Structure 1
């Protein structure tokens, strides 16, 4: 089991409230009246988080390595 932590960043200005992230990773994201947000800013590695970031139609979700700050997802 990995001990790598990821930091989740949701750009609430870019978010269009599609709900893709909450459908894919409901334990990681919540949808509110002003857009989605991460339930916890720092999380353990979780493939559902990557799927949510890559499924966001406006790429409002960014996943970073919490230790290095390196962008994990979405990547081109």
Structure 2
């Protein structure tokens, strides 16, 4: 039997809790942004992952890594 297609909104309902980080890229569809914890300033493929990684490092108090070449 073929599984029925599930709407994108339904998938979002199940996927966001699994990810534990509910951020959307700047160019995401509105229904994704509405379900996200925050919306990044960068578009997908244009530095969004780096923006999120930097925010996580800052939240963990590890922003000194940005100025230390040995940290990368």
- Which has the larger helix fraction? 2
- Which has the larger strand fraction? 1
> TM-score category by the smaller chain?
under 0.3
Looking at both structures, which has the greater relative contact order when contacts are Cα pairs under 8 Å and sequence separation is at least 6?
1
Q: TM-score, normalised by structure 1?
A: 0.22
| Structure whose alpha-carbon radius of gyration is higher | 2
Q: TM-score, normalised by structure 2?
A: 0.22
